Structure 1
Amino acid sequence: MTEILRVEDLKKSYDGFLAVNGVSFSVQQGELKALIGPNGAGKSTCFNMLMGQLKPTAGRVFLNGEDVTGQRPRDIWRKGVGRTFQITGTYQSMTVIENVQMALMSHHRRLFNLSARAWRMYRDEAMSFLDTVSMGDQADRPCSILAYGDLKRLELAIALTHRPRLLLMDEPTAGMAPTARVELMQLVADIVRDQGVSVLFTEHDMDVVFAHAHHIMVLNRGELIADGSAAQVRANPQVQEVYLGGGMLFKEADHA
């Protein structure tokens, strides 16, 4: 398999406190990999270093074999990394398809052309992305009236517009109803399977993680304590100690 992302001994400290301490891992092409851990484990800090929002104190990040450590978020985005966030960031005053068209104009470097004609640009291409996330029938609806789960689907369509090789998803199902969570992650799994996109995601819903992730990493107090299959992670004594009492890791479920 082709290695898309490699992280080597990544560290981030704040006034001597190590929020991320020596984290190393890789993500392969077409892999759906989860990064889990309790609140404050360092998951978001790690994501922010991968995408360039934070500069590591030490360590290296390689994308397709190229060292991208400390590069600007937009430069990393241009190299094929997309991201979705815990809180959606769509333009509420625009329609669903206009949001995707805006993303396509950015991808094609046409944001300078925001004339009245701009909203006819890339409409067919935008529709194809909306169809991918089962939102084509809502193309002309204002974002302000969408259900939260549909906003999450729209955000995924937007993230896919520049055809990333790696997609970082920070708490993709946060705030969603249980059924909508399952539907969204199945959609992500289908995209990984059909398009060969690699996905690294953080998540608190263990049912979602164990049902869909090919491999799971566990971060605790800034350190990576497990990296393996669902069965390996479930049986790991350190992981059991971290999640002791919750029972959330110990359901007998394999990824789909």
Structure 2
Amino acid sequence: MTSPVLEVSRIRKVFGGVVALEEVSFAVAAGEMVALIGPNGAGKSTCFNVVNGQLRPDEGHVALHGRAITGLPARKIWRLGVGRTFQVAATFASMTVMENVQMALLSRRRRLLSLWPRATRLYRGEALELLERVGAADLADRPCGQLAYGDVKRIELAIALANEPALLLMDEPTAGMAPGERAELMALTAAIAREGRIAVLFTEHDMDVVFGHADRVLVLDRGHLIAAGEADTVRNDPRVREVYLGPETLAADEAEADAPGWAAC
């Protein structure tokens, strides 16, 4: 069996007296889309920050392709092949789309000290290829500050792909997007992940996005991993339904389901 791209093993993280993560373990394989969900305060952001090196866990370890990366600086983990997009897309608004992607390529190749007039001529072909992958080649010469938000999200994906990631972390990738744009972005991401054998771990509040595009779903609640598995299995898990619906709503829902004639409604 092929070893997973990402392995998270028994992670524990405490802030003061608050346990943010407790014995959290999971793995993500190449080409797999895995959603990490949970209510606010469940520990999703903490988990992401432990994986990409912004936080050091109190216990447990993280491995990338079998190599321990626990506690390494975020920049070194990035160079090892961990890309990330953020809930609020971040690009250089005054620069063109092409220049934004070129900047990512320059950083990847450690050429940011090059003089900018010459730098604008570097890696144009590679930048255009990345823009074509995300369906944004026609936007190459437009300033990012003039783009619609959905287009900015695609540019952010191209920037993340410039790092040639083995693992891509996506924090609320469809936040602020219209429903149609959300589906398009996640379908595009899934296709790129499968084609490039990139492991994708993403957080998301839109359950249509989660259950429509994730190969597996992980559910955190108050720092504990309470469910993990395929979408249908997790969707029907009583503990997951209780976390999202609340015990009173869940009890009423189950009573309605057991009532005579419910199946015919």
TM interval, shorter chain, is: over 0.9
Runs of 5+ unmatched residues, structure 2: 251-265
How many residue pairs align between the two structures? 247
Match of 1:254 in 2: none
Residue 115 of structure 1 and its aligned partner are, at CA, apart by 3.1
TM-score (norm 2): 0.91
Match of 2:58 in 1: 57
Deviation sequence 1:168-200 (CA, Å, 0-9, x none) = 000000111111100100000110121111100
Task: Name the CA distance, whole Å, in 2 between partners of 1:148 and 1:115.
Answer: 27
Deviation sequence 1:129-166 (CA, Å, 0-9, x none) = 00000000000000111000111000000000021010
Task: Name the CA distance, whole Å, in 2 between partners of 1:201 and 1:214.
Answer: 11
Q: CA-atom RMSD, angstroms?
A: 1.2
1:158 aligns with 2:159: yes
Task: Name the CA distance, whole Å, in 1 between partners of 2:182 and 2:47.
Answer: 23
Match of 2:8 in 1: 7
Deviation sequence 1:22-52 (CA, Å, 0-9, x none) = 1000111111100000111110011001000
Secondary structure of 1:120's match? Answer: coil
CA radius of gyration, larger in: 2
Task: Name the CA distance, whole Å, in 2 between partners of 1:139 and 1:121.
Answer: 14
Match of 1:34 in 2: 35
Residue 57 of structure 1 and its aligned partner are, at CA, apart by 1.3
Percent of residue pairs bearing the same amino acid type: 59
Match of 1:207 in 2: 208
**What stretches of structure 1 move > 2 A for 4+ residues in a row?**
none
- Which structure 2 residues correspond to residues 234-249 of structure 1 after superposition, within 5 A? 234-244=235-245
Secondary structure of 2:99's match? Answer: helix
Residue 59 of structure 1 and its aligned partner are, at CA, apart by 1.0
Match of 2:147 in 1: 146
Match of 2:73 in 1: 72
Residue 236 of structure 1 and its aligned partner are, at CA, apart by 1.0
Task: Name the CA distance, whole Å, in 1 between partners of 2:116 and 2:226.
Answer: 52
Task: Name the CA distance, whole Å, in 1 between partners of 2:116 and 2:50.
Answer: 36
Secondary structure of 1:39's match? Answer: coil
Residue 2 of structure 1 and its aligned partner are, at CA, apart by 3.2
